[in-house]
Amino acid sequence: MSKKVLVIGETREGTLRNVTFEAIAAANIISDGGEVVGVLCGEGQLENMGKEMVYHGADRVITVANENLKTYTSDGFGQALQAVIDDESPGGIVMGHTSIGKDITPKLASRLESGLISDATEVLAEGGKIVFTRPIYSGKAFEKKEIKDGIIFATIRPNNIPAEPRDDSRVGEVTEKNVEITNIRTIIKDIIRKSSDGVDLSEAKVIVAGGRGVKSAEGFQPLEELADILGGTVGASRGACDAGYCDYSLQIGQTGKVVTPDLYIACGISGAIQHLAGMSNSKVIVAINKDPEANIFNVADYGIVGDLFDVVPKLIEEIKQVKVNA
């Protein structure tokens, strides 16, 4: 098998998403000293972002710039990526398990007649084999998988595989490839962003999430303040979204976003299994709930039994005090 591994980069509002750098780290494990080649699709000048991929561990980067790649469509990106794959004939392909990754990778795998390991949380080289770990049964169990034949094709869950430190002394070629993008069946007329301009949920290191216990849209204000001072972002359970307290873009759970932050603070969340499926793999979980029997305490590392409207303001004051004295 070729030890060349392609990393499909992903951008957000003109910058590379952190999961791109995590995918590069995974690709370096898979390549076992072979070549790691980054791939970027978009519009306009992509060279600087290509250099960022080199600084984070890619050996070289191929960019595909076309006006039909300004916004993501499976037709446009599929054509661009397929052209690069055909030219490079890689032994492996890695991408983040994001909304785009979940859409484009099955299409590419079908064209390549390849298997696909999705949502990997760990990549290890064991006895000459590449072993992937991924959650199953809504995160209640894990399985280890390997691809024994053909291309190693995988998506990795954001915020699980540590990225390599940025090294701006690294040098790698960034080349542009011209690909004709035609027959786009989907036309993007406009994009309305409902999510906040803060940290992306799937990549956040700290998340403060609210459930039905926040009682109203205004109830999220202290959670937003706590998230702000911790350098994180706000999420929500489906119950809070269904009640109209916040937008569904903040939903965490089996039918929302799956997150694995370093710190997850659950405020007024009972802990339905659908919600736990989206956050139970967080590194540290803190639960705040008035009900001592709430299911969320079964997965929490630290639990606080109390009214979130009493507890959260006290946490905010304590954290502010610590920062002042630091």
Do 60 and 19 fall within a single domain?
Answer: yes
What CATH number does the domain containing 256 carry?
A: 3.40.50.1220
Residue at 139 is within a domain = yes
Do 213 and 253 fall within a single domain?
Answer: yes
Q: Which one of 137, 160, 176 terminates a domain?
A: 176
254 compared with 39, residue with greater pLDDT = 39
Residue at 125 is within a domain = yes
pLDDT attached to residue 198:
60
pLDDT band at 197 (very low <50, low <70, confident <90, very high): low
Alpha carbons 156 and 10: distance in angstroms, whole number:
13
Task: Give the pair of three-digit tokens for residue 5.
Answer: 């591994």
Do 128 and 14 fall within a single domain?
Answer: yes
Which range has the worst mean pLDDT, 3-7, 167-171, 184-188?
184-188
Instruction: Determine the structural domain holding residue 138 and report its residue range.
Output: 5-176
pLDDT attached to residue 194:
58
Total domains, the chain: 2
Do 157 and 292 fall within a single domain?
Answer: no
Do 100 and 207 fall within a single domain?
Answer: no
66 burial type by CB count under 10 A (0-12 exposed, 13-18 middle, 19+ buried): middle
pLDDT attached to residue 190:
77
pLDDT attached to residue 183:
84
Give yes or no for residue 1 having a pLDDT over 60: no
Contact in structure between 213 and 269 (CB atoms under 8 Å): yes
Do 206 and 263 fall within a single domain?
Answer: yes
Residue at 185 is within a domain = no
Using the structure block, give the residue that is written with the tokens 């960034």: 174
CA angle 204, 265, 303 (to 5 degrees): 150
Amino acid at 37: V
Q: Which one of 176, 210, 228 terminates a domain?
A: 176
Do 145 and 78 fall within a single domain?
Answer: yes
pLDDT band at 2 (very low <50, low <70, confident <90, very high): low
What CATH number does the domain containing 23 carry?
A: 3.40.50.620
233 compared with 197, residue with greater pLDDT = 233
Q: What is the mean pLDDT of residues 64-68?
A: 93
Q: In terms of DSSP bridges, do strands 129-136 and 141-145 run parallel, antiparallel, or are they unpaired?
A: antiparallel
Do 238 and 132 fall within a single domain?
Answer: no
Residue at 151 is within a domain = yes
Do 212 and 310 fall within a single domain?
Answer: yes
Count CB atoms within 10 A of the CB of residue 213: 22
Do 66 and 207 fall within a single domain?
Answer: no
Do 105 and 250 fall within a single domain?
Answer: no
pLDDT attached to residue 140:
80
Using the structure block, give the residue that is written with the tokens 């997850």: 264
Q: Which one of 125, 160, 176 terminates a domain?
A: 176
Contact in structure between 213 and 246 (CB atoms under 8 Å): no
Give me the chain's average pLDDT, please. 92
Do 151 and 10 fall within a single domain?
Answer: yes
pLDDT attached to residue 179:
92
pLDDT attached to residue 193:
65
Residue at 228 is within a domain = yes
Residue at 189 is within a domain = no
E-strand ranges in 43-186 read 60-65, 92-96, 117-120, 122-126, 129-136, 141-145, 152-156, 174-176
Tens digits of per-residue pLDDT, 268-283?
Answer: 999 999 999 999 989 9
pLDDT attached to residue 186:
80
Residue at 165 is within a domain = yes
Q: Report the helix count and the strand count for the chain, using DSSP H and E.
A: 8, 17
Give yes or no for residue 94 having a pLDDT over 60: yes
